[in-house]
Structure 1
Amino acid sequence: MSDTDINNFTNPSTFILQGIPGLEEAHVWISIPFCTMYIIALLGNLTVLFIVKTEPSLHGPMYYFLCMLAITDLVLCTSTLPKALAIFWINSREIDFSACLTQMYFIHCFSLVESGTFVAMAFDRYVAICHPLRYSTILTSSVVAKLCLAVVLRSGVLALPYPFLARQWPYCRTNIIPELYCTHIAVVNLACADIRVSSYYGLFVLLCVIGLDVIFIALSYALILRAIFRLPTKDARLKTFGTCGSHLCVILAFYSPGLFISLTYRFGQSGAFHFYVLISNLYLGMPPTLNPIIYGIKTKQIRTRLVWLFTHKRT
């Protein structure tokens, strides 16, 4: 590549999203589970929001946090899956450079919002189980609003450096991203410059921010488990543990693949690359799909209200 070509390619006008490298011929078939996930995520999370809004008995801290999680999931899946389906169905691989950075911001911002929401939900369960008599005085509407605002502001500020760091690097090698969407590490890996600042910042967010969230959640559930085992009857212990079981399932589904993907990108891949791409896309697609299903099944109030809605419409 000549010097002139390099200078012209330093700030590419578009990136090319490759999809799932090595599985291009199977894109149409792969689109089926992705489309199914998107439909379930949309219907499930919108249903949760509708039920909580229309049922006065659900207007409490736990359900406000659940609504925040549902909104976050809707933004996450809508910012990634429609473009992925366009790649699968009509081979629409191009994405404008600014649109790529915008998508990057939304992905990282709302992933942090989801992590912060899990912390708030863990705190809610801790207060409900360990300090039930003080629940209404600790988690007032003002406190819930401040927690939600703090989660959103923290996430918005911490995600801002991602697109700014990605924009400053020269891209003189290629503009092909071997992914279905624009993440920070996938984009900056294409730069022909020393990207250690980007890599270090990503590790800082992963270890210091997400890591602290995981520690707070683990501490909350350790205290919750201690309180559960102190309950007098086995039935009471099982009922209380069942209430927390849905939270633990959702948390594991969110953090486990995210940690795997982030570390894999930074420290190398020893297997087929399309496997990592599939995992990374499931990471953003599965939680929005599973969260409303898990909470709908495990949360008695939501399940009861949903059954009532269906039976009421039939009559």
Structure 2
Amino acid sequence: MNIDDIRAADARLDGHVRRTPLLSSSFLDEIAGKRVIVKPECLQHTGSFKFRGAWNAVSKLSDVQRKQGVIAFSSGNHAQGVAMAAKAIGAPSVIVMPSDAPRQKIDNTRTLGGEVILYDRATEDRDKIGARLANDRKLTLIKPFDNPDVIAGQGTVGLEVAEQARAMGIADARVLVPCGGGGLTSGIALALEADAPDFRVHPVEPEGFDDVARSLVSGQIERNPRLSGSICDAIITPSPGELTFPILKRLCGPGLPVPDDDCLRTMTAAFNHLKIVVEPGGAVALAAALYHADQIDGDTVIVVVSGGNVDAPVFADALTRFP
């Protein structure tokens, strides 16, 4: 993986993805005690950054692969991205999703043309299910983060951040990124290494599911002891990827875990002050910036809000509990 892969992905995505803006609010700056800039990928197609990597990977398929179709496993955001990209090029898609995924994500994936197969994430292995289906149906497997084309597509977020921050006169910043398997975080880190070397990326995870933070400390891949129990479903993964972890280890600063309640509180803050809808997993990096700013050095924080696909009851709960 290198910057050339990301620049090639950027050209491939041109005209197919939204170039999301950088947002700010004096109210958020006051909460954090420093300047907070937000990159709202919740405004991306399908409501998350995942469409970038999905389009880059799907658009590179051969004619035979397109005809046979693709398969992906996801709690919902990668699912929707792959389903939408596959539909756009006329390829069938099979999506393996946990049965406890938000109903909106399951329904949206089906509406986008994906054949949804549900599994129990506590007792079944999605990798084995995906591998079996890919083999039986001759489908091309597009992994959610451990795939070079997916990482390159997600890295285009970093290219945009570097260019947009430069236009705003920002030369030095800490960049906080919601992190599951590390596809988005590693892609952004690679892009910023080339285009904004004075920016430093920090992965942010929910408390109790901080496998990346622990892996960065130990220097080897650590696993989460459980795969359920947090509202941040979008970024609950077993461990960082074999492809992503070496990049994270080389380029990222320490990881930051945040409690679920801070994510809910942040959803309200983002709605009130930026007028955007954010899902819990997409809110973790902004939660770290707002409520754990003492752990972040520097005067400017750039935050990626990675997704906005939240079920109405969860969003209503956030607004009610933290008005």
Normalising by structure 2, we get a TM-score of 0.27
Write 1 or 2 for the structure with the bigger share of helix: 1
Normalising by structure 1, we get a TM-score of 0.27
The structure having more radius of gyration, on CA atoms, is 1
Write 1 or 2 for the structure with the bigger share of strand: 2
